[in-house]
Amino acid sequence: MNDSPGQEGRLGVVVKGSLTDGLRVRLDRGVNVEDVRVGRYVTARGKLLRFFAVVSNVSLETSDAYMSAAPPDVSDPFIAEALLGTAAFGALDVEPVLALSNDPLALVEGPQPAKTIPPHFSPVHLASEDDVRLVFGEEDERHFWIGSPLDMETRLCLDVPEFVMRSNGVFGKSGTGKTFLTRLLLAGILQSGAASNLVFDMQSEYGWKGYSEDSREVKGLKQLFPSRVAVFSLDEESSRRRGLTPDYVVRVGLDEVEPEDVQLLRESLSLSDVAADAAYSLQRHFGKSWLAHFLEHPTGDAFRDLAGALSVNERALSTLKNRLSRLKRLKFMDKGSGHDSVGRILQYLDRGMHVVLEFGRYGSDTAAYVLVANLLTRRIYERYQRESEEAMGDEARKPRPLVITIEEAHKFLNPGVASQTTFGAIAREMRKYNVTLLVVDQRPSGIDDEVMSQLGTKLTCLLDNEKDLDAVMTGVSGSRRLRSVLARLESKRQALVFGHAVPMPVVIETREYGSAESYRELGFRDAAELRAQVERETDELFGPDD
């Protein structure tokens, strides 16, 4: 008996099913059930249409219920051969997603969403490389290779312009390859020119260099694309220790902090609602420099008088002062307000550059990360909003599309604050002002359901928490079957990709990142390669030196 799919990748035939519940496929006698995995991409050919589908379940079936209760003696190879594939057989559950006319003259522009199903006994095959290219496109300025379908070498591509039109998410438990996948996506956006990237690099993994799971160094975006990426730093000492001279050192003045920033710090600073809300009263009382005045305000009777004047509980106000005093110990913060970090970031973005903001030692300080990311994003978004409104009706004047990448996204988009933050507004407005998010998180259940439902494309590595699995599937058609696929991903370098940037859900093994060959495929050339190219071009122009 053969141990692989039959002739030309044939698996079996459709024996039952519906559009809502999916198709049941009986495997052919010669097909080993162990050769077909959940997430595999298959095709079913009907009389009029060819359907593209995803395997959502693999099962063992019998034609006689008695056989399950009293299994036959299969020690005799002849008996085993006679039973397997007849009385006992393998079956697949597959979900039809796309359909394409069998008539080459049909005026259907490529695969369309499946709105019917193939008839009984339609043959089902493993998808071929041509099928994948037909559905997902081939590498070009618009399509970026992110990985390969399971058990295939074919390069599967993401539609980058479609990807940046909406906010998107990368999810997965720690160690599953979220960071590597995010690096690939950022490189794809950079290469396509579809948008600029602003990356809040919490762990300093994206700018100059990062590390693989086995602690091997890998190049960051600045090394791969030195003329197109600028690295800003909150921690100049950390950047220099890692061999990088930052393009700009970010400083933040106390006067730049607003009450909205304090609202986001409630969890990380363990503030009560009363204490956090007191920031608004302080701003009305002291004006723009409210934080500096508040932190320098004397204690004792003067402090009690202040609490009385604000009609705020003295104990809550004291707690707020103690917790916010932590900000004064952050070296990147000072009393001045003449810094123009936002202006410098915008200068680079306007030139088509991509900016990575490294946090260095402050990446482990949640309050510092949340404060800076929210503060800078609010001001950048205000600028994009103003410029977009001024350019209304004139596409040429609109600001260049921007993708803002945030890690630990649930800190900005949890149900308690998502409706109040700039990040929440960006996620809900779907590129209204040419700004979208790329949210990266290992706890998608901590993100507001409305925000999750607005994410255009989700790239999800392994998750083993039930709430996280449910959260990723929020608002997704066919979520029950996709959930079963997601729960069976391997622990590294596999992801379920679904949403607007791909024509149908697909499980991929992500492309390699970290080897010399992978860097060359991304367009990187080291000094020796550049020198050799210059010598070749010189020889072509002037001939070799005698």
Higher pLDDT, 286 or 528: 286
Exposed, middle or buried by CB within 10 Å (0-12, 13-18, 19+), for 160? buried
Nearest 5°: phi and psi at 257? -80, 130
Asked, for residue 313, whether it belongs to a domain, the answer is yes
Can you tell me the mean pLDDT for 305-321? 95
The size of the chain, in residues, is: 546
Asked, for residue 385, whether it belongs to a domain, the answer is yes
Can you tell me the mean pLDDT for 79-105? 82
pLDDT at 278 over 80: yes
pLDDT for 69: 64
pLDDT at 8 over 80: no
pLDDT for 155: 94
**365 and 500 both lie in a single domain:** yes
Can you tell me the mean pLDDT for 379-383? 92
pLDDT for 368: 93
pLDDT at 284 over 80: yes
Pairing outcome for strands 402-407 and 435-441: parallel
Can you tell me the mean pLDDT for 132-136? 91
pLDDT at 54 over 60: yes
How far is the C-alpha of 522 from the C-alpha of 25, rounded, in Å?
A: 40
CA dist 209 → 216, 217, 373, 493 (Å): 10, 7, 21, 19
pLDDT for 535: 53
Average pLDDT for the chain: 88
pLDDT at 339 over 80: no
CB of 269 within 8 A of CB of 324?
A: yes
The percentage of the chain sitting over the pLDDT mark of 70, rounded to a whole number, equals: 90
Helix (H) or strand (E) holding 546: none
Exposed, middle or buried by CB within 10 Å (0-12, 13-18, 19+), for 404? buried
**75 and 216 both lie in a single domain:** no
**491 and 355 both lie in a single domain:** yes
What type of residue is 471? A
Task: Give the pLDDT band of residue 109 (cuts 50, 70, 90).
Answer: low
What is the DSSP code (8-state) at residue 269?
T
The last residue of one of the domains, among 298, 329, 360, is 329
pLDDT at 544 over 70: no
**289 and 386 both lie in a single domain:** no
pLDDT for 361: 93
146-183: pLDDT as tens digits? 999 988 889 999 999 999 999 999 999 998 999 999 99
Helix (H) or strand (E) holding 539: helix 527-542
Of 376, 372, 381, residue with least CA distance to 428? 381
Can you tell me the mean pLDDT for 57-74? 77
Which residues pair with residue 125 across a beta bridge?
A: 10, 43
**362 and 230 both lie in a single domain:** yes
How many helices (H) and strands (E) the chain has is answered by 21, 23
Higher pLDDT, 418 or 276: 276
Exposed, middle or buried by CB within 10 Å (0-12, 13-18, 19+), for 393? exposed
Tokens representing residue 202 in the block: 């919490």
The percentage of the chain sitting over the pLDDT mark of 90, rounded to a whole number, equals: 64
Asked, for residue 452, whether it belongs to a domain, the answer is yes
Asked, for residue 465, whether it belongs to a domain, the answer is yes
pLDDT at 3 over 50: no
177-235: pLDDT as tens digits? 999 999 999 999 999 999 999 999 999 999 999 887 777 899 999 999 999 999 999 99
Of 8, 57, 50, 52, residue with least CA distance to 28? 8
Rg of the chain (C-alpha set): 28
pLDDT for 50: 93
pLDDT for 452: 93
pLDDT at 78 over 80: no
How far is the C-alpha of 419 from the C-alpha of 127, rounded, in Å?
A: 43
pLDDT for 322: 95
pLDDT for 534: 46
**325 and 348 both lie in a single domain:** no
Q: Which domain holds residue 503?
A: 162-241+339-514
The last residue of one of the domains, among 277, 304, 329, is 329
Of 4, 52, 402, 499, residue with least CA distance to 195? 402
CB of 467 within 8 A of CB of 489?
A: no
478-532: pLDDT as tens digits? 777 788 888 889 988 899 999 999 998 889 999 999 999 999 999 887 655 545 5
Task: Give the pLDDT band of residue 308 (cuts 50, 70, 90).
Answer: very high
**361 and 475 both lie in a single domain:** yes
pLDDT at 80 over 70: no
CB of 321 within 8 A of CB of 295?
A: yes
Asked, for residue 228, whether it belongs to a domain, the answer is yes
Can you tell me the mean pLDDT for 331-349? 85
How far is the C-alpha of 516 from the C-alpha of 514, rounded, in Å?
A: 7
**360 and 320 both lie in a single domain:** no
Q: How many domains does the chain have?
A: 3
Higher pLDDT, 538 or 148: 148
Task: Give the pLDDT band of residue 85 (cuts 50, 70, 90).
Answer: low
Q: Chain-centre distance of CA 392, in angstroms?
A: 30
In the block, residue with structure tokens 């005026």: 107
The last residue of one of the domains, among 91, 119, 136, is 136
CB of 393 within 8 A of CB of 430?
A: no
Among 344-358, 412-426, 467-481, 491-505, the least confident range = 467-481
pLDDT for 6: 62
pLDDT at 314 over 50: yes
pLDDT at 2 over 50: no
CB of 183 within 8 A of CB of 207?
A: no
Among 143-147, 296-300, 437-441, the least confident range = 296-300
**237 and 361 both lie in a single domain:** yes
CB of 49 within 8 A of CB of 101?
A: yes
Asked, for residue 83, whether it belongs to a domain, the answer is yes
**260 and 233 both lie in a single domain:** no
Listed in sequence order, the residues at least 6 apart from 256 whose beta carbon sits closer than 8 Å to its beta carbon are: 337, 339, 375
**19 and 126 both lie in a single domain:** yes
Residue 443: which CATH number? 3.40.50.300
How far is the C-alpha of 3 from the C-alpha of 85, rounded, in Å?
A: 12
pLDDT at 542 over 60: no
pLDDT for 485: 85
Of 399, 395, 457, residue with least CA distance to 433? 399
How far is the C-alpha of 199 from the C-alpha of 193, rounded, in Å?
A: 16
How far is the C-alpha of 86 from the C-alpha of 63, rounded, in Å?
A: 8
Tokens representing residue 520 in the block: 């060359």
Asked, for residue 44, whether it belongs to a domain, the answer is yes
DSSP assignment of 485-508, as one string?
HHTT--SSSEEEEEETTSSS-EEE
**356 and 211 both lie in a single domain:** yes
CA dist 272 → 316, 317, 320, 351 (Å): 8, 10, 9, 43
Helix (H) or strand (E) holding 482: helix 479-486
Asked, for residue 532, whether it belongs to a domain, the answer is no
